[in-house]
């Protein structure tokens, strides 16, 4: 996978003050991918060191007033064209800078204060559909013993637990809020494994409970709150789904967004609310664009066929009628399942980085789907699913 990086984050002395801003987590990522160091100011031929530049309205001005908009724009265009030519899907950029800043940039007072906006280069990359993130996103997604990656496995995907070198096991019934009477359905097991997969610290939950079993949204999200308490910042949800004909094929998928059609929400239940600052959670980018882009890159590198699409969560447990399937197609849904949506809401409310992976094991609305056929289809894709998850973990 090819990734562009602000050269200063990799330790190159290209900043206005003649220095760099090396970030260990970013350097670690750069060492695992095909890294393209980028500095739009360097590409523009600006001297280094130089006075600091900030965005003032539509212009880029040096302290002292010189207008360097044309140079910044030329450098940004040059580097953006290079990223497009190299089909780069992801750029890790230095936050706040007038070229590379994302969402927040220095405000033109040269005092360190910030204002909403993107740097010139970041804004061009965004327009081209390239995923841009700051070093803070890479840091927040980097696992450690204190911050393991949580992995919640759904129907037919539980075999991934065999990859874990466990150091501790936790019976789900010892997890606060997990329903005391719950026992696993076929293909699930109710023991969390804390340990490593390929040396990456993980907590694997090889099964879940569902709303359709009569549990509340607070109960089905107990594992998410548990993972958060353990320090997990990344959480991977894997679920079996039906693919909506016309919008997705059967096989592996990366979830890009969701529609919660269950009629339930953990944030409407007191138990779910206890841990969160506000129930009015912003659900934009609920499925982390950074993690999605990493997953896409891994799949492409490994030659694993993976589609992407929107997930609709139904209450279940019956499968969809043809009319419901037609409705889902019209709504732009690619994958339909009976889990995940409440868990993603909970994880987003807790500020976690979510990756959603699915195995579409049947066509939604088809006749004669049953739990056994879902398990049998999942088995066929087990190896690719495992390679995909391991590949993602390697890059975190
Ligand atoms: N619909 C809903 N949930 C599912 C399906 C489906 O077709 N397949 C597996 N889980």
Question: How do residues 128-169 score in pLDDT, each as one tens digit?
Answer: 999 999 999 999 999 999 999 999 998 778 788 999 999 999
> What are the Cα distances from residue 280, in Å, to 277, 348, 349?
9, 11, 8
Nearest by Cα to 45 from 85, 14, 17: 14
Q: Which amino acid residue places its CA nearest to atom 7 of ligand 1?
A: 242
pLDDT-derived band of residue 187, with 50, 70 and 90 as boundaries? low
Q: Are 269 and 346 a contacting pair, CB within 8 Å?
A: no
Q: What is the pLDDT of residue 375?
A: 83
pLDDT tens column, 6-16: 999 999 999 99
Ligand 1 atom with least separation from CA of 366: 7
Ligand 1 atom with least separation from CA of 363: 7
d(CA 132, CA 153): 29
d(CA 265, CA 272): 9
Does pLDDT of 295 surpass 90? yes
Helix, strand or coil, per DSSP, at residue 296: helix
**Mean pLDDT of the region 300-318:** 97
Does pLDDT of 171 surpass 90? yes
Q: 336 CA distance to ligand 1 centroid (A)? A: 6
Residues with Cβ within 6 A of ligand 1? Answer: 240-242, 314, 319-320, 336-338, 361-362, 364, 369, 374
Does pLDDT of 294 surpass 80? yes
Q: Which of residues 201 and 278 earns the better pLDDT score? A: 201
Strands (E) in 198-248, as ranges, are: 200-205, 234-243
Q: What is the mean pLDDT of the chain?
A: 94
Hey, which residues does 61 pair with through a beta bridge?
Answer: 54, 67
Nearest by Cα to 167 from 203, 138, 117, 210: 203
Does pLDDT of 39 surpass 80? yes
pTM as predicted: 0.95
Q: 224 CA distance to ligand 1 centroid (A)? A: 22
Contacts of 174 (CB under 8 A, 6+ apart): none
């Amino acid at each position: 996978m090819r990734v562009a990086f602000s050269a200063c984050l990799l330790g190159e002395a290209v900043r206005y003050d003649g220095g760099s801003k090396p970030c260990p987590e970013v350097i670690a990522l750069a060492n695992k991918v095909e890294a393209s160091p980028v500095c739009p100011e360097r590409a523009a031929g600006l001297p280094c060191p130089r006075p600091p530049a900030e965005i003032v309205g539509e212009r880029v001005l040096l302290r002292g007033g010189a207008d360097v908009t044309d140079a910044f724009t030329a450098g940004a265009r040059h580097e953006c064209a290079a990223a497009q030519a190299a089909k780069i899907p992801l750029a890790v950029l230095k936050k706040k800078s007038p070229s590379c800043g994302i969402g927040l940039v220095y405000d033109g007072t040269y005092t360190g204060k910030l204002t909403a906006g993107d740097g010139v280069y970041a804004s061009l990359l965004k327009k081209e559909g390239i995923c841009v993130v700051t070093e803070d996103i890479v840091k927040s997604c980097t696992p450690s013993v204190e911050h393991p990656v949580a992995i919640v496995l759904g129907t037919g995907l539980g075999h991934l637990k065999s990859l874990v070198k466990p150091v501790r096991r936790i019976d789900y019934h010892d997890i606060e809020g997990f329903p005391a009477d719950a026992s696993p359905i076929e293909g699930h097991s109710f023991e969390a494994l804390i340990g490593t997969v390929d040396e990456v610290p993980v907590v694997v939950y090889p099964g879940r409970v569902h709303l359709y079993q009569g549990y509340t949204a607070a109960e089905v999200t107990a594992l998410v709150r548990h993972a958060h308490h353990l320090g997990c910042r990344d959480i991977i949800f894997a679920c079996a789904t039906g693919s909506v004909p016309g919008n997705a094929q059967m096989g592996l998928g990366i979830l890009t967004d969701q529609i919660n059609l269950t009629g339930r929400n953990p944030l409407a239940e007191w138990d779910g609310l206890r841990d969160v600052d506000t129930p009015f959670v912003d659900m934009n980018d609920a499925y982390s664009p950074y993690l999605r882009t990493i997953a896409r890159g891994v799949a492409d590198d490994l030659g694993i066929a993976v589609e992407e699409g929107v997930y609709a969560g139904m209450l279940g447990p019956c499968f969809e009628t043809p009319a419901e399937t037609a409705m889902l197609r019209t709504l732009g849904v690619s994958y339909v399942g009976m889990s995940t949506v409440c868990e993603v809401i909970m994880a987003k409310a807790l500020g976690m980085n979510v990756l959603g992976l699915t195995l579409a094991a049947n066509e939604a609305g088809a006749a004669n789907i049953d739990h056994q056929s879902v398990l049998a289809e999942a088995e066929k894709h087990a190896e690719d699913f495992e390679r995909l998850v391991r590949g993602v973990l390697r890059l975190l």
